[in-house]
Amino acid sequence: MGNHFQQLLEKVNEIHDLEKVTWLLSWDREVNAPSAGAAIRSKQIGTVSKLMHELSVSDEMGELIERSADELNSAGTDRSSMEQSLVRFLARDYKENRRIPTDYVQRVSIAQGKANEAWKSARANNNFAEFAPHLAISIAHGQEKAEYLGYEDEKYDALLSQFERGMKTADVRRVFDAIRAETAPLIAAINERQDKVDDSILHQDFPVEIQQTVAPYFAKAVGYNFDHGAELGTAAHPFASSFSRYDARITTRWYANFISPALFGTMHETGHAIYEQGTGAELERTPLARGTSMGIHESQSRMMENLVGRSRAFWHAHFHKLQEAFPSQLGSSSAEDFYRAINKVSPSFIRVEADELTYNMHIMLRFELEQAMINGDLKAEDVPDAWNSKMEELLGIIPPTDSQGCLQDIHWTRPSYGYFPTYALGNFYSVQLLDAAKEQDPSIEAGLAKGDTAPLKAWLGKNIHEHGKKFDPPELVTMATGRPLDHEPFVRYAKAKFGELYEL
């Protein structure tokens, strides 16, 4: 490595370390810290975020990026190398971050902490009015950021690109329209045959303390390495967070009368953590040591939660473990009973507990509302009514409370507008990637048939995980599957799986 690149790398390592400090402070705030300390914690995070931003947009950083690029090009360094990938990433990131004032970064960080606490209370008390002022600030911050970043077509493009490089709002809208057209009739047909699937075995007395002993088994079963992680944390809204490839942590949540949230929340967050644990060692302490986009990240979590975790083969291999933990609840049930129950399709209020088909409708709802918010067409105080109206349109149901409606997600406590579409994109990427993996390595299909995810994890590690952020989503997916995002594999998968399940 040349002298300029080495200097750049040292600066990048320092900034990355500061970023991980903010993540650790956030993790602790969500999982361990008392609520009374939230205001001060937010200021601490704000201070570190401000310092990190100042370093990342300094004139010195810009000069080092330019000189490093010249240095690497002169040396003929390969485009796919860590060095060229890092400089390419930093050049784009630097240009964008220079547009965002440092005081904005600090203001958002502090406002997010306050909004987070207000959201927790509002959700617990079903009191939207308590959160509404914070949502208004969050929307304003999102609009402000879009203007700083700039856009050619739609304001929402600027925010979406922060989570899914290479994707435009119009692209998402086109895919969502196609999915809705293909799957809405399937959902309607299933609604006429609800008697075909019984999910009552999921809704029994499942003591939380026993769930907490068995959930780690299923994290391991889909590939989580606890030596590079930690015990499962508990959070109001499950999440995963990584501080290095050797420390990727997951949380879940527990319901004493419903087993699915803990099981599938654990497997979902495990998918995220496996991605982070699998990033290349040479990327460590750089911004490349992360998933390339939230859509690709969600493909990994949705794959482990649904394509693996809700598969017939997985439960025929692992159901005995759940039966051992809950003999009185599940002792007289079969793996097939459980498989059918966890795949029941029925419109429901909570996104993270939705089935594979109706889940995408939950995302379309948020996608449409976010565009309206960012465009100034939907005010914070009008969100509950807009939410309920859109829920009725897409799913045919109206939430009885705001806690089961517009207060269910944590994302709007911060200006994460543009994030929600990536959840559905992850569904579509996941099937495309799994199809390619099975085609390229027959041992994957054989492994999954026995409930063994090791061959799949190895393929994902080689084709997706180890690259981190070296390549943008379109390039990475094309490298792995031979083509860019294609929603048709998901449609075929859904029609085959649920057509068989509901005898359509």
Alpha-carbon distance 88 to 334, whole Å?
53
Note if 269 is an active site residue: yes
Q: Which two tokens stand for residue 349?
A: 């209020």
Average pLDDT on 435-446 reads 97
Average pLDDT on 111-118 reads 91
Alpha-carbon distance 132 to 319, whole Å?
44
In a domain, 390, yes or no: yes
Alpha-carbon distance 302 to 430, whole Å?
7
User: What pLDDT score was predicted for residue 312?
Assistant: 97
Q: Which helix (H) or strand (E) holds 120?
A: helix 102-125
In a domain, 251, yes or no: yes
% of residues, the chain, pLDDT over 90: 89
Alpha-carbon distance 177 to 158, whole Å?
21
In a domain, 387, yes or no: yes
DSSP 8-state code for residue 232: P
Q: How confident is the model at residue 260 (pLDDT cuts 50, 70, 90)?
A: very high
Alpha-carbon distance 131 to 119, whole Å?
6
Q: What is the CATH number of the domain that holds 432?
A: 1.10.1370.30
Query: Of 461, 476, 468, whose CA–CA distance to 82 is shortest?
Result: 468
Alpha-carbon distance 426 to 472, whole Å?
14
Average pLDDT of the chain, as a whole number: 95
User: What pLDDT score was predicted for residue 448?
Assistant: 96
Average pLDDT on 269-275 reads 96
- The dihedral through the CA atoms of 172, 178, 180, 182 has a sign that is negative
In a domain, 108, yes or no: no
Surface-to-core class of residue 401, CB atoms within 10 Å of its CB (0-12 exposed, 13-18 middle, 19+ buried): middle
Task: Convert the pLDDT of each residue in 281-336 to its tens digit.
Answer: 999 999 999 999 999 999 999 999 999 999 999 999 999 999 999 999 999 999 99
Which range marks the domain in which residue 436 is found? 169-501
| DSSP-derived 3-state class of residue 242 | strand
In a domain, 364, yes or no: yes
Average pLDDT on 469-487 reads 96
User: What pLDDT score was predicted for residue 29?
Assistant: 85
In a domain, 20, yes or no: no
Average pLDDT on 71-92 reads 95
Q: How confident is the model at residue 30 (pLDDT cuts 50, 70, 90)?
A: confident
Q: Which amino acid is at 287?
A: P
The catalytically annotated residue of 30, 71, 117, 269 is 269
Query: Of 403, 474, 394, 371, whose CA–CA distance to 432 is shortest?
Result: 474
Cβ atoms of 465 and 279 closer than 8 Å = yes
Q: Which two tokens stand for residue 361?
A: 């409708």
User: What pLDDT score was predicted for residue 76?
Assistant: 93
Strands 240-244 and 247-252: antiparallel
Q: How confident is the model at residue 401 (pLDDT cuts 50, 70, 90)?
A: very high
In a domain, 437, yes or no: yes
Number of domains in the chain: 1
Q: How confident is the model at residue 31 (pLDDT cuts 50, 70, 90)?
A: confident
Alpha-carbon distance 428 to 296, whole Å?
10
**pTM as predicted:** 0.92
User: What pLDDT score was predicted for residue 1?
Assistant: 61
In a domain, 7, yes or no: no
Query: Of 501, 504, 503, whose CA–CA distance to 312 is shortest?
Result: 501
- At how many degrees (to 10) do helices 59-74 and 3-31 cross? 130
Average pLDDT on 360-385 reads 98
Alpha-carbon distance 412 to 28, whole Å?
20
Rounded alpha-carbon distances, angstroms, from residue 6 to 82, 245, 301, 320, 354: 13, 22, 35, 53, 48
Alpha-carbon distance 81 to 101, whole Å?
32
Q: Which amino acid is at 415?
A: P
Task: Convert the pLDDT of each residue in 205-253 to its tens digit.
Answer: 999 999 999 999 999 999 999 999 988 888 877 889 999 999 999 999 9
User: What pLDDT score was predicted for residue 35?
Assistant: 82
484 pLDDT higher than 80: yes
